[in-house]
Amino acid sequence: MAFSTAVPAGERLPVTVLTGYLGAGKTTLLNRILTHEHGLKVAVIVNEFGEVGIDNQLVIDADEEIFEMNNGCICCTVRGDLIRIIGNLMKRRDRFDHLVIETTGLADPAPVIQTFFVDDDLRDELRLDAVVTLVDLRHVLQHWQADEVQEQLAFADVLLLNKADLVDEAERAAIEQRVRAINPMARLLTSTNADVPMQQILGVEAFELERALSLDPGFLVDDHDHEHDATVGSLALVEERPMDLDKLGSWLSELVAQRGPDLFRMKGIIQLAGEDCRYVFQSVHMLLDGDFDRPWKPGERRRTEFVIIGRDLDAAGLRAGFAACGA
């Protein structure tokens, strides 16, 4: 696991990734971001699948920096272009406060997230603020089996259930239950026409697990055994004992070597033996990243809280491997 040694996290450029299946409302939300009086200067990268760009033409004319990538899906063919464009943006770092990347509806968000870890320069200067996934309440069940839909839901830090005006309350609740079965830890919002307070989308530092716990204190310990149509699920691991970083690192490295493609995302706040600071860990498929965070607060309950989202999870084996990493 790598330790961050560059620019402090609070000084890195925050990045929001907008994802969601075709027609979910990503461009509508992007336009709201560009027109809202939030006081931020926003740079935007718009990706489309196909040779002719449409989304960029639908983005309102604004003072923000807008870049278009239309030579392929951002998740499979243009990572090099993404790195190049962001690199050019960083030369004008003083001109904006936040970066928003809108992916095509056919994109797996995992490689986009990975971009901020595989390139040393980007990793040193940017931080992922949140993956915001829009869900089309009216049509999502028609595409539920699509891998892209499952992956977009699984990787979300914020889930925006959009087009609430087109379904009744029973339909919305049923979809929310199915979404929660895949991703119980994302913050959940509901909207019509992607109209949502910007403070719930930008600058949310959504990786902070304690924020999700404050919204739903039981989500890490509930079974979340709702039925759903996919093999994608989540597993919560809670350990009161301090953990051994070497043991944990070895176990995680072996785990991703064996099951990396099936492990969509792992997140956790780790209590390490002999350390007065929290250790924050996250991974995307084969990429692992960890760093010491703030000190534990006086009176704060020190324990490890860890969540795994993936396909065909071996709950018993994962629990046993995790427990063996205790100090």
Give pLDDT tens digits for 223-259. 333 333 347 677 888 899 999 999 999 999 999 888 8
pLDDT tens-place string over residues 258-300: 888 788 778 788 999 999 998 988 776 677 878 888 899 898 8
CA separation for the pair 13, 146 (Å, rounded): 33
Q: Which domain holds residue 318?
A: 232-323
pLDDT band at 74 (very low <50, low <70, confident <90, very high): very low
For residues 312 and 208, which has the higher predicted lDDT (pLDDT)?
A: 312
Q: Using DSSP, state whether 147 is helix, strand or coil.
A: helix
Residues contacting residue 84 through CB under 8 Å, at least 6 positions apart: none
Residues 95 and 185 in one domain: yes
Place of tokens 């072996």: 254
Residues 207 and 244 in one domain: no
pTM comes to: 0.66
Place of tokens 């943006």: 89
Position 57 pLDDT exceeds 70: no
On whether residue 168 sits in a domain, the answer given is: yes
Q: Is residue 52 exposed (0-12), middle (13-18) or buried (19+ Cβ within 10 Å)?
A: exposed
On whether residue 131 sits in a domain, the answer given is: yes
Q: Structurally, how many domains does the chain consist of?
A: 2
Q: Can you tell me the mean pLDDT for 45-65?
A: 42
Residues 263 and 191 in one domain: no
- The helix (H) or strand (E) run that includes residue 186 is none
Position 216 pLDDT exceeds 80: no
Supply the mean pLDDT for the chain: 77
Residues 208 and 251 in one domain: no
Residues 159 and 200 in one domain: yes
Residue 9: CB atoms within 10 Å: 13
